[in-house]
């Protein structure tokens, strides 16, 4: 392999495609080299496969993980030929560390959400809404408000799926109600996630990077409310009249320990925030400590389960072990495809940044266009491409901006995905859950109204935080 690397190194040093900066031991701009063009091509093909995930039935993590590996292999071949392989090693380690922090943070959050799902916490909430006999307009606003309120604590994807299950349960005979409510839920979940590091991956990345303190994100609360309320207010006039018929009066019961797990999750959030704010320790360490809370509670439940099987601690009428709970089975049910997708995106975009493409993009967007225009375009781009690679690219560029502008790009990247149904994980998930009732073109019909809310939220941000 040494002779191959040497030949490739000589080729890149003498080729007209190669960069003019060839000082050994320094990172070179390879945007006009064969390495750069090949890397861009690989990333483009991989992302096309991600966009057509539903049609190809190919999980989105696979192409980006392969792309990340191929991009860094090309970079490594070039720098081995230049005699500076240590630069590549250091860059990979830096990007991998960023991913590792995000991975373990999300893994703990996903484990808690899965634990609450297993204990029936969200099922109980859904059934309560179904049996209360609310009208269509009341349910429209209640599911939207709950999506907005829950998503800052849980993530916007899980929140949207829970609220969609409510809408599908009560709107069986009203496809128009289902369609409008799903659009409203997507907008509300994305808006609610924009002002909390726990509500959206992009906001979490900004917080973990240390750009904005935890409490600083609450400055986006009012713009987020406006982003949700403006389109919801307009859409409500198209709702059907009356109230849905309740097919069942039964409510799912929360299993033993369900509310305790909710409390432990809130304590975990407090721990992560305190670690970061008071002790200047990365928040992921607080989240991992929070996982220990759940593990100890799981140990307590297992002891109760043993007692139940021995007939010592059996609730009256219980035919199934109410204490049966395994933390590691909850970890196993995490969204592994999503977690590995983040790996591929962070490493692939990191590779493009190492080649010099992000500096080029930063110079154009934040230099020529200015931060305000650039940050508004980031939100629009997030509706077409996924907001995660877009925000990671911005963080990798790290343009010089005020806190107000960093909050602006956090807001736009979070809520911009609502403009199209494919612009956010919540929208894509609901198209699958409410297949045939919530569609791309059905959402597209309301894009002008959502865009009005998008523009209004930016205006309010400048008015309140400018």
High-pLDDT (> 90) share of the chain, %: 28
Lowest mean pLDDT among 13-22, 170-179, 221-230: 13-22
Query: What's the burial of 36, exposed, middle or buried (CB within 10 Å: 0-12/13-18/19+)?
Result: buried
Asked if residues 12 and 34 have their Cβ atoms less than 8 Å apart, the reply is yes
What pLDDT does residue 255 have? 87
| Dihedral over alpha carbons 71, 352, 408, 451 (to 10 degrees) | -70
The first and second tokens of residue 250, run together, are 């039964």
What pLDDT does residue 245 have? 65
Angle between the 136-150 and 156-170 helix axes, to the nearest 10 degrees?
A: 160
Mean of the pLDDT values across residues 206-229? 91
What pLDDT does residue 20 have? 36
Q: How many CB atoms lie within 10 A of CB 404?
A: 15
What pLDDT does residue 68 have? 94
Given a cut of 90, whether residue 334 has pLDDT beyond it is no
Mean of the pLDDT values across residues 92-119? 86
* Residues ≥6 apart with Cβ < 8 Å to 108: 268, 287, 288, 290, 291
Characterise 356 by phi-psi region: left (phi > 0), alpha (psi -120 to 50), beta (else).
left
Work out the pLDDT band at 15, boundaries 50, 70, 90.
Answer: very low
Lowest mean pLDDT among 30-34, 201-205, 241-245, 311-315: 311-315
- Residue 40: half-sphere exposure toward Cβ, Cα within 13 Å: 12
Mean of the pLDDT values across residues 360-373? 83
Work out the pLDDT band at 22, boundaries 50, 70, 90.
Answer: very low
Given a cut of 70, whether residue 317 has pLDDT beyond it is no
Q: How many CB atoms lie within 10 A of CB 96?
A: 15
Cα 36-393-378 angle, rounded to 5 deg: 120
Given a cut of 50, whether residue 221 has pLDDT beyond it is yes
What pLDDT does residue 313 have? 62
Give 419-462 pLDDT, tens digit per residue: 988 777 788 778 777 877 888 888 989 999 999 999 999 999 99
pTM given for the model: 0.74
Alpha carbon distance 218, 222 (integer Å): 8
Alpha carbon distance 186, 425 (integer Å): 9
Given a cut of 60, whether residue 16 has pLDDT beyond it is no
* Residues ≥6 apart with Cβ < 8 Å to 87: 25, 26, 27, 79
What pLDDT does residue 316 have? 57
Mean of the pLDDT values across residues 238-262? 79
- Residue 291: half-sphere exposure toward Cβ, Cα within 13 Å: 20
What pLDDT does residue 248 have? 58
The number of residues in the chain equals 466
Work out the pLDDT band at 188, boundaries 50, 70, 90.
Answer: very high
Give 146-167 pLDDT, tens digit per residue: 999 988 887 777 788 788 888 8
Give 56-79 pLDDT, tens digit per residue: 888 888 998 999 999 999 999 999
Work out the pLDDT band at 187, boundaries 50, 70, 90.
Answer: very high
What pLDDT does residue 184 have? 95
* Residues ≥6 apart with Cβ < 8 Å to 225: 148, 191
Lowest mean pLDDT among 6-20, 89-103, 255-269: 6-20
What pLDDT does residue 4 have? 36
């Amino acid at each position: 392999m040494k002779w191959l690397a040497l030949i490739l190194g000589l080729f890149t040093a003498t080729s007209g495609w190669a960069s003019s900066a060839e000082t050994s031991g320094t990172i070179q701009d390879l945007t006009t080299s064969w390495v750069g063009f090949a890397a861009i091509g690989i990333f483009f093909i991989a992302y096309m496969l991600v966009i057509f995930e539903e049609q190809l039935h190919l999980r989105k993590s696979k192409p980006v993980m392969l792309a990340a590996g191929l991009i860094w292999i090309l970079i490594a071949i070039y720098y081995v030929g230049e005699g500076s392989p240590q630069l590549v090693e250091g860059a990979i380690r830096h990007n991998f560390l960023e991913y590792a922090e995000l991975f373990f943070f999300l893994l703990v959050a996903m484990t808690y959400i899965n634990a609450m799902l297993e204990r029936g916490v969200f099922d109980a909430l859904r059934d309560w809404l179904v049996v209360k006999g609310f009208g269509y307009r009341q349910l429209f606003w209640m599911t939207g408000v709950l999506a907005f309120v829950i998503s800052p604590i849980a993530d916007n994807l899980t929140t949207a799926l829970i609220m969609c299950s409510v809408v599908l349960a009560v709107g069986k005979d009203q496809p128009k109600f289902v369609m409008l409510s799903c659009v409203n839920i997507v907008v509300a979940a994305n808006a609610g996630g924009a002002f909390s590091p726990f509500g959206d991956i992009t906001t979490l990345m900004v917080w973990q990077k240390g750009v904005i303190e935890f409490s600083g994100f609450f400055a986006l609360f009012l713009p987020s409310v406006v982003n949700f309320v403006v389109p919801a207010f307009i859409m409500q006039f198209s709702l059907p009249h009356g109230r849905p018929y309740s097919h069942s009066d039964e409510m799912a019961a929360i299993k033993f320990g369900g509310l305790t797990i909710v409390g432990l999750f809130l304590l975990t959030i407090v721990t992560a925030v305190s670690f970061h704010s008071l002790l200047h320790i990365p928040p992921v360490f607080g989240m991992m400590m929070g996982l220990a809370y759940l593990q100890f509670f799981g140990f307590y439940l297992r002891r109760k389960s043993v007692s139940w099987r021995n007939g010592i601690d059996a609730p009256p009428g219980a035919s199934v072990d109410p204490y049966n709970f395994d933390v590691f089975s909850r970890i196993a049910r995490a969204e592994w495809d999503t977690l590995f997708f983040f790996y591929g995106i962070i490493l692939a975009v990191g590779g493009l940044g190492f080649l010099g493409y992000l500096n080029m993009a930063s110079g154009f967007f934040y230099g020529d266009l200015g931060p305000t225009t650039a940050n508004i375009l980031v939100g629009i781009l997030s509706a077409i491409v996924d907001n995660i690679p877009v925000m990671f690219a911005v963080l990798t560029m790290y343009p010089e901006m005020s806190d107000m502008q960093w909050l602006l790009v956090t807001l736009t990247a979070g809520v911009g995905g609502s403009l199209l149904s494919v612009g956010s994980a919540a929208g894509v998930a609901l198209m699958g859950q409410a297949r045939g009732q919530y569609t791309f073109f059905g959402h597209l019909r309301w894009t002008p109204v959502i865009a009005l809310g998008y523009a209004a939220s930016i205006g309010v941000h400048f008015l309140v935080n400018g």
